[in-house]
Amino acid sequence: MLRLEKRPNPSRFWLYATPVVAVLLTMIAGGLLFAAMGKNPFEVIRTIFWDPIFGQFAFYLRGQLLVKAGPLILIAIGLALGFRAGIWNIGAEGQYIIGAICAAAVGLAAYPTESRWIFPAMVIAGAFGGWAWAMIPAILKTRFNTNEILVSLMLVYVAETIVAKAATGFLKNPEGMGFPGSRNLSTFPATANPELFAGSGLHWGGVTALVMAILAWVLLSRHILGFQIRLAGQAPRAARFNGVNPNRLVMLCMGASGALAGLAGMFEVTGPAGQITIDFGTGYGFTAIIVAFLGRLNPLGIVLAGFIMALTYVGGEMASTNLGLPDAAIQVFQGMLLFFLLGVDMLTNYRIRLRAAGTTVKGAL
């Protein structure tokens, strides 16, 4: 009979080993899934995890990795701050969309002027849009004690209707011959967010993501606010005795994650996406939740996790075009990864002990 025994302190070994084990388990389970779908599992896994980095088209796909990883990392860092403090902002997708709309609105309002101040103004507008959208659940939480999980999620659906309205109404390209979608921001020098080095895939969003990862790491490990965030998550009562104001933390964490998600949306709409479309939200805000957990809610871990998740996107697209693997299979794959991660995570806080049968205390399960 196996039983769990709580460790006095979390295991440092398993803290780092968990993500690795989870990725390996996901590869095995995913391989079984792909085999069940009649694909060669080894070929699929190789296409997803190996080819984008070392394969024939790696020169192009490596850049794509950065394009996908940038927004994921940026959003996940913000989410991790909140998750650490026990504040669950799961509406990053909505904040991402609203950030993009605000940024695009500023850029389009300035069209066709050419000024180097337009892009910075759009950056500010994007961050502000995401921040403001996240402030709705934050204020409702602090003022009325409303559940931030449900409110932030409901606002994703609201944001999706707004972006549909924007693409067909107030941000629609007047020269678009009636097709939905805004002007293409990436084709105008003042509003474009181009690759900084040709073929690298690195645009200002990627740079921002890396800078934010470092800032967040410093904040969490070296700053009193980071200490308060961690304390509030691990021991809310102790945090209160320590003078931590929970409402202030909610506003700060929600605001920061909203602003970062808005920034991600801004860099996306000016760069890879180029324009506001009806289906602008592609689920980065939800995948970033997986990235945050895969990175162990640690900013530097999140950078690594962002690249692994980007691999599943880029490699998944390859597998879909070359091997006919449905897109949904990748979604399943990503969901499985989070399951394994959460399951294996038990080993960080508990150890498994063998116990002789018959000594079970009644009800000890």
Partner 1 sequence: MDFGGINPVTLIATLMVTSVPILLAALGEAVVERSGVLNLGVEGMMILGAIGGFITAVQTGSPVLGFLGGALAGAVLSAIFALLTQVFLANQVATGLALTLFGLGVSSLAGQGYNGIKPPATGKVPFGPLADIPVLGPILFGHDWVVYFSLAMVAAIWWVLRSTRAGLILRAVGENHDAAHALGYRVNRIRLLAILFGGAMAGMGGAYVSLVRVPQWTDGITAGAGWIALAIVVFASWRPWRVLIGAYLFGGISVLQLNLQAAGSAIPVEYLSMAPYLITILVLVVISSGKGKAATGAPAELGHNFHASR
Q: Which of 72, 92, 263, 329 binds partner 1 (CB under 8 A)?
A: 329
* Binding flag, residue 165, partner 1 (CB under 8 A): yes
* Binding flag, residue 345, partner 1 (CB under 8 A): yes
Q: Which residue has the tokens 């294996």?
A: 344
Q: Closest separation between CB of residue 29 and partner 1, Å? A: 11
Q: Which of 161, 178, 198, 243 binds partner 1 (CB under 8 A)?
A: 161
175 torsion bin: left (phi>0), alpha (psi -120 to 50), beta (else): alpha
Q: Closest separation between CB of residue 77 and partner 1, Å? A: 17
Residues 6+ apart with CB under 8 A from 118: 106, 107, 110, 190, 191
Kindly tell me which of 217 and 286 has the beta carbon lying closer to partner 1.
286
Q: Name the one range near partner 1 by CB under 8 A: 64-72, 105-113, 151-159, 311-319.
A: 151-159
* Binding flag, residue 282, partner 1 (CB under 8 A): no
Kindly tell me which of 192 and 338 has the beta carbon lying closer to partner 1.
338
* Binding flag, residue 149, partner 1 (CB under 8 A): yes
Yes or no: say if 38 and 174 are a contact pair by the CB < 8 Å rule.
no
Stated length of the chain? 365
* Binding flag, residue 225, partner 1 (CB under 8 A): no
* Binding flag, residue 354, partner 1 (CB under 8 A): no
What's the longest Cα–Cα distance across the chain?
81
145-148 long-range CB contacts below 8 Å, 24 or more apart?
148/87, 148/88, 148/89, 148/250, 148/254
* Binding flag, residue 146, partner 1 (CB under 8 A): yes
Binding mask 167-206 for partner 1 (x = CB under 8 A): --x-------------------------------------
* Binding flag, residue 24, partner 1 (CB under 8 A): no
Q: Closest separation between CB of residue 341 and partner 1, Å? A: 8
Kindly tell me which of 135 and 149 has the beta carbon lying closer to partner 1.
149
* Window 89-108: residues binding partner 1 (CB under 8 A): 90
Q: Closest separation between CB of residue 113 and partner 1, Å? A: 30
Between the CA of residue 219 and those of 222, 223, 224, 243, 334, what are the distances in Å? 6, 5, 8, 18, 29
* Binding flag, residue 326, partner 1 (CB under 8 A): yes
Kindly tell me which of 10 and 169 has the beta carbon lying closer to partner 1.
169
Q: Closest separation between CB of residue 270 and partner 1, Å? A: 24
Residues 6+ apart with CB under 8 A from 314: 52, 61, 64, 65, 68
Q: What is the DSSP letter of 4?
A: E
What residue spans of 11-57 are helical by DSSP H? Answer: 12-36, 41-49, 51-54
- Side-chain half-sphere exposure of 125, counting CA atoms within 13 A: 24
Q: What is the DSSP letter of 187?
A: G
* Binding flag, residue 286, partner 1 (CB under 8 A): yes
Q: Which of 12, 116, 143, 237 binds partner 1 (CB under 8 A)?
A: 143
Six-digit token string for 175? 């020269």
DSSP string, 297-319: T-HHHHHHHHHHHHHHHHHHHHH
* Binding flag, residue 350, partner 1 (CB under 8 A): yes
Q: Which residue has the tokens 């659906």?
A: 157
Kindly tell me which of 203 and 296 has the beta carbon lying closer to partner 1.
296
Alpha carbon distance 307, 224 (integer Å) = 30
* Binding flag, residue 17, partner 1 (CB under 8 A): no
* Binding flag, residue 132, partner 1 (CB under 8 A): no
- Side-chain half-sphere exposure of 128, counting CA atoms within 13 A: 11
Alpha carbon distance 105, 84 (integer Å) = 33
Kindly tell me which of 122 and 310 has the beta carbon lying closer to partner 1.
310
Binding site for partner 1 (CB under 8 A): 4, 6, 88, 90, 140, 143-147, 149-151, 153-155, 157-158, 161-162, 164-165, 169, 286, 289-290, 293, 326-336, 338-339, 342-343, 345-346, 349-350, 361-365
